[in-house]
Structure 1
């Protein structure tokens, strides 16, 4: 559906109005004044940060990606906020795939819904892109550490004297 509005134009001495057509529902990224493109990496970072904001998300990425991220951290590099995020970005829409590690005890369906909502809101608010889907894959569950399994726990007390 085409909607018409008017835009003032200065013609030298008097202002006139010129009809301007716009398509209803069109993206603010493609306008008569030009096109705004958003890199896949930008959308990946937004999605990764938004997913990590949800309580119950322990980490992101598959086992190999997490291992590489840990190694990067050991040599002084920063962990990638886009780890565990794959996106497909078009002119007006984006689709997102997330790989999550959840905390033990979290209700996974509820967590996935909360992550999905947070990612959609963040991407749409920050980029103007319509998010068509957010697929969530849970690859692992983070188990709470017991005091005996911690490296800093020190030696075990003897049960006998």
Structure 2
């Protein structure tokens, strides 16, 4: 939880609020078909429902400190959008929204594209994700 101290008092922001802001910001970007993807996402969604949280933050993970936040976004992109451009747009929008709404500094936004979504429900890959293992985490070095 973030605790922002001012001369007039403390504002406490729950991690789940930061995650919701990130999820909504990612969904605002043109080219994002959906958040989440893969078996890990499905399990996280089930756990989230059991705990009573809403489905709004599926595909988003956050680490929140006293004054900073780091975000991980997992998403599907609409075909034939540029994966790189959509990821950069998501990264920028997530940073802008979190920083302007919470006052937290966003140190990083890691974006993982797990699948493509095809117009008109053509299904080329959309239904295959649950039968395929989740991809390994991306390397953090070049």
Q: 3-state SS of the aligned residue for 1:29?
A: strand
CA distance in 2, matches of 1:47, 1:84: 10
Q: Does 1:119 align with 2:94?
A: yes
Deviations 1:105-127 (A, max 9, x none): 01011111100111011001110
After TM superposition, list the pairs within 5 Å mapping 1:101-112 onto structure 2: 101-112=76-87
Q: Could you say if the C-alpha distance between residues 29 and 69 of structure 1 is closer, same or farther in structure 2, counting changes exceeding 3 Å?
A: closer
Shift of 1:32: 3.5
Q: After the TM superposition, list the runs of 4 or more consecutive aligned residues in structure 1 that deviate by more than 4 angstroms.
A: 66-70
**Shift in Å, 1:37:** 1.7
**Any unmatched runs of 5+ in structure 2?**
47-52, 123-142
Equivalent residue number for residue 28 of structure 2:
53
Greater fraction of residues in helix: 2
What is the rounded CA distance, in whole Å, between the counterparts of 1:111 and 1:30 in structure 2?
A: 35
- Rate the CA distance shift 1:66–1:58 in 2: closer, same or farther, 3 A: farther
Q: 1:100 to 1:67 in 2, by over 3 A?
A: same
Aligned: 1:136 with 2:111 = yes
Deviation at 1:88, TM superposition (A): 0.4
> Which residue of structure 1 aligns with residue 72 of structure 2?
97
The answer to whether residue 59 in structure 2 is matched with residue 81 in structure 1 is no
Q: How many residues align?
A: 115
TM-score with structure 1 length normalisation? Answer: 0.63
Mapped to 2, the partners of 1:127 and 1:79 lie a distance apart of: 21
Question: Normalising by the residue count of structure 2, what TM-score does the alignment of the two structures yield?
Answer: 0.71
The CA deviation at 1:66 is 5.0
Which residue does 2:13 correspond to in 1? 38
Q: Quick check: which has more Rg, 1 or 2?
A: 1
CA distance in 1 between counterparts of 2:116 and 2:54 reads 20
- Which structure has more relative contact order (CA 8 Å, sep 6+)? It is 2
